[in-house]
Amino acid sequence: MRITWYEMKKALTSPIVLILFVAFLGFNGFQILSQSHAKEEINAVNDLIATYGRTITDESLSKLLNDLNEDAEQLGGQDGAESFLNELTYERYEAFSQTEKEQVDRLELFYTYYIKGRDVEERYKGIHMDELRSEFLVSVKESSRFEKFMSQEFTNWEERYEEIVATEEYKEWFFLGEYKMHSEMYRSLLKNAALQSVILIVLMTALVTNYEVEQRTQLLLYTTQKGRFLMRNKFAASLLLATLTFFMLLIPSFILYFTIYDFSEVWQTVVSSGLNWEYKLPYITWWELEVWQFFLLAIAVEWGVVILIAVLGFFLSLWIKNTYFTWILSMAVLIGLFLLPSVFNAYPALQFVTLLNVTTLLLNPHMYFSGGITLTRVQYFEVWSLLIGFAVATILSILSYRRFMKKDVV
């Protein structure tokens, strides 16, 4: 354990690693802050949930409308909130005092929520599953068995959609889809932190693994009693470093994120909420996941990906024995894996198999656990990708470790 720690220190005490850490954190912080101009507006959903409850029901909607109408009356609107807002002109708005303006803004915002909440049922039930199915299956019609499999997946997803509709799971308040909070949180922040850790992890793994060769101490070290078993410590150090790096980048970024955006009431909302509708489709998740569950699971999956990439770096280090080339080749392998599926555009079954690689998971945390009309949205996609990744990583590591144990030390 002590040796593992010393191996880790070789990477951690390198000043450039610390500088990169600070630079990455600064970049994340800058990105969060530069997006945060509407934070008060966004956070208002917490008041909404606190007052009217998490679920959107007819009673809570009519209560909300009543309150809005009263507010409008206080501001001088005689016929309720809707006509008040419709008749609101720029001149009239400017005539209000500062506090009144804030009230008007709030009224307008809550009225938007009211409209979205009122219409969510119609909108959600208006998803045409049949159209989506044909759109989805157009790309996979080639091989019959594969089509059967994908068709079955789609049927399962359709059932899940029907279940959501039947249990009214989607009727929960969430940030308006226009704010793109789900994308912001996962596609921007989590993905960036994961990418940044990949850059650092491969560098650290290569440094630790190749250290003896680079420092010309391998002849001395590998002939001691501890000898080549040192590589086990180096492997453990790589994995620990990967974990440490990932969370060191993630935790400060998300602390800043959650101090700016208030999630206190939203944590228990389901991700499949009908308001969480950013693009063509809402996030129709395979399971009923609340925001905090999705958050923790997404981090766990990215953590697995990051560990796998550390193993990749370790594997390449054992063969190349040169930190510089190891780093470049690791990045090249990752880019290659990312590009690989596009080679098989004509063979959907092969394309599906090649999509089950770590880069798909690395780059798309916002699409985890959700069904949809692309090949990557099947159920358990994350589990499969990780399992395949771990199988490949284990085999490669064992092979190269055994080779390392036997080969000439020089």
Residue 129 CA to chain centroid, in angstroms? 26
- Out of 44, 120, 164, 203, the only residue in the binding site for other proteins (CB under 8 A) is 203
Nearer to other proteins, 150 or 198 (CB): 198
Which one-letter amino acid corresponds to residue 288? E
Count Cβ atoms below 10 Å from residue 347 Cβ, excluding itself: 14
Q: How far is the CB of 14 from other proteins (least distance, A)?
A: 5
Q: Which of 96, 149, 325, 347 binds other proteins (CB under 8 A)?
A: 325
The correct pick among 145, 216, 280, 406 for binding other proteins (CB under 8 A) is: 216
- Comparison of 18 and 255: residue with beta carbon closer to other proteins: 18
**Contact flag: residue 199 with other proteins (CB under 8 A):** yes
Q: How far is the CB of 33 from other proteins (least distance, A)?
A: 17
Tell me which of 95, 129, 332, 383 binds other proteins, using CB under 8 A: 332
Nearer to other proteins, 21 or 149 (CB): 21
The 334-353 contact track toward other proteins, x by CB under 8 A, reads: -xx-xx--x-----------
Out of 329, 375, 378, 386, the residue judged to bind other proteins by CB under 8 A: 329
Contacting residue, 1, 2, 16, 59, with other proteins by CB under 8 A: 16
Six-digit token string for 96: 């209000």
Q: Which of residues 22-51 bind other proteins (CB under 8 A)?
A: 23
Which one among 52, 84, 327, 381 touches other proteins, defined by CB under 8 A? 327
Smallest distance from other proteins to CB 226, Å: 23
Instruction: List the one residue from 7, 8, 11, 298 that touches other proteins (CB under 8 A).
Output: 11
Q: Judged by CB, which is closer to other proteins: 339, or 391?
A: 339
The reply on whether position 17 binds other proteins by CB under 8 A is yes
**Nearest distance from C-beta of residue 35 to other proteins, angstroms:** 16
Residues contacting other proteins: total by CB under 8 A: 29
| Binding residues vs other proteins (CB under 8 A) | 11, 14-17, 19-20, 23, 199, 203-204, 206-207, 210, 214, 216, 322-325, 327-329, 332, 335-336, 338-339, 342
